[in-house]
Amino acid sequence: MKKQEIKKDLIREKMISMLSILNDNPKKFIQYTSVFVILLLTIIFYSNSQHNKKNTYNLNSSISQNKYTDGDKDLALLNFKKILNDYSSSESYNQAYIYTLNDAVENNDLDKIKDLIENSHFKTKDNTLQALIYNIYANYYLDINNNDKAIKYYNKAIYESDITDHILKFKLNLLYLYYEIEDHKNYEDLLSTINIDDIKSYQLKNKYEQLPSISN
């Protein structure tokens, strides 16, 4: 007997065996099938629900961003507030958070900034965006004279960023802070990581060249 024929026979025997089991236990077959169908329908329903929810989030976020850009900031901020309160971590939440935080910074609303920082659910895989958020946090803590947290978030911004000019700006902010609080060791250690000749931006290079030197 050829190998192909043997395989066909084995498959046929298995099919016959399965049919026999089903015929002998029709109730169990119906139960298993019902459970499978219910599970499949649940998965499909959940997937569709999540997809629809995401579309709703994106639509509301886009409408609010357009209103903010068109000058209807009050209504946009109300919508952003609703998104922040009702939506879970998502790209729509992140956009609402950025717009709201930016508005608070522009208006120097320290209470609002504090609330946004302390109750944030902001999460992103975008290192550049995350670094910019950390820098805003650091600036806020610097404004309220919490130097330890300002240093913490400037370092986070430096570590997170992938863009050289951003890193140089964050380091410059931290250098100013170290100099102001007379932390000479960290000032010199951080400054030693910068090669001014390699800085391409004229403005940044000029700012670094104007940094004071500290003699031991």
pLDDT 10s digits, 130-154: 999 999 999 999 999 999 999 999 9
Distances (CA, A) of 179 to 52, 58, 213: 52, 44, 10
Task: Please report, for the chain, the start and end positions of each structural domain, with discontinuous segments joined by +.
Answer: 124-216
Residue at 135: amino acid letter: N
Residue 33 has pLDDT above 80, yes or no: no
For residue 89, the Cα-to-chain-centroid distance in whole angstroms is 8
pLDDT > 70: percent of the chain: 65
Q: Max alpha carbon distance in the chain (Å)? A: 94
- Read off the pLDDT of residues 73-91 as tens digits, 9 standing for 90 and up: 788 888 888 888 887 667 8
Look up the pTM and report it.
0.69
Q: How far apart are CA 88 and CA 178, in angstroms?
A: 37
